[in-house]
């Protein structure tokens, strides 16, 4: 299905003739879980689109913003919305914040894609080279799209995977959480509302400016 014939990268892009098959797979995935009475609140447009390009040692499909825009517009978006899972949330990017806001700007050049996408998912890898105000810039352009932090892990590339009581690792998590809350507090509240489906009252944040540290 990919031009490099590998599960990962480098330069592992999905062949265009398989765009619809890949979209259909997502629906079949949801159908299989539904048969066991397991439902999903949201799925993303794909984990870390850059990982399949730069060649990290993980299974990954490489996307640039333009090709993913085409796939969501013509394949994934219609397939999900026409399925029994039409109300599921679609989260874009699901990758590093150094791609913001340009990646989302390109995807949202398509009104259809912007309508299909319910929120933006970000990971924390590369935060040391990417200022947190990229989140603020993204929010200011697309305030109706909540930004969710969807992945952060330590020890992936270290020899010692688990290090109990490691304060250095703990401090990294705390710093990241403070940055996220300070930068996208409005989105956090919106995300809670989305997840809880307005079943509980969330404090209003209207008029509260996004901040970064």
pLDDT per residue of the chain (213 residues) written in tens, 0 to 9? 999 999 999 999 999 999 999 999 999 999 999 999 999 999 999 999 999 999 888 999 999 999 999 999 999 999 999 999 999 999 999 999 999 999 999 999 999 999 999 999 999 998 989 888 899 899 999 999 989 889 998 888 788 899 999 999 999 989 988 888 777 644 555 555 655 554 445 444 444 443 333
pLDDT number for residue 203: 45
Q: Residue 85 falls within a domain, yes or no? A: yes
Q: Residue 86 falls within a domain, yes or no? A: yes
Q: Residue 94 falls within a domain, yes or no? A: yes
Are the C-beta atoms of residues 41 and 118 closer than 8 Å to each other? no
How many domains does the chain fold into? Answer: 1
CATH code of the domain covering residue 66: 3.20.20.80
Q: Which domain holds residue 55?
A: 16-165
pLDDT number for residue 180: 84
Bond from prior residue into 167 cis (ω within 30 degrees of 0): no
Q: Residue 201 falls within a domain, yes or no? A: no
Q: Residue 188 falls within a domain, yes or no? A: no
Q: Residue 101 falls within a domain, yes or no? A: yes
Tell me how many helices (H) and strands (E) the chain has: 9, 4
Distance CA 129, CA 197 (A): 35
- Catalytic machinery residues: 48, 151
Q: Residue 173 falls within a domain, yes or no? A: no
Please list, in sequence order, all residues whose beta carbon lies within 8 angstroms of the beta carbon of residue 59, skipping any fewer than 6 positions away.
7, 8
Q: Residue 181 falls within a domain, yes or no? A: no
Whole-prediction pTM:
0.86
Distance CA 73, CA 145 (A): 17
Measuring CA to CA, how many Å separate 109 from each of 100, 103, 136?
14, 10, 19
């Amino acid at each position: 299905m990919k031009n490099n014939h590998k599960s990962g990268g480098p330069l592992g892009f999905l062949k265009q003739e398989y765009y619809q098959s890949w979209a259909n797979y997502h629906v079949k995935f949801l159908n299989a879980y539904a048969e066991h009475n397991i439902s999903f609140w949201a799925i993303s447009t794909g984990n870390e689109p850059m990982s399949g390009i730069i060649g990290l040692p993980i299974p990954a499909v490489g996307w640039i913003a333009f090709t993913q825009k085409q796939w969501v517009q013509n394949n994934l978006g219609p397939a999900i919305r026409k399925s029994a899972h039409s109300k599921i949330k679609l989260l874009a990017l699901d990758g590093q914040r150094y791609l913001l806001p340009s990646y989302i700007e390109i995807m949202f050049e398509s009104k259809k894609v912007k309508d299909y996408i319910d929120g933006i998912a970000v990971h924390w890898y590369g935060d040391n080279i990417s200022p947190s105000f990229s989140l603020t810039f993204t929010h200011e352009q697309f305030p109706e799209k909540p930004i969710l932090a969807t992945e952060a892990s330590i020890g992936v590339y270290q020899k010692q995977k688990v290090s109990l009581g490691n304060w250095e690792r703990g401090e990294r998590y705390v710093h990241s959480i403070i940055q996220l809350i300070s930068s996208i507090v409005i989105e956090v509240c919106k995300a809670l509302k989305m997840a809880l489906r307005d079943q509980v009252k969330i404090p209003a944040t209207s008029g509260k400016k996004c901040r970064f540290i």
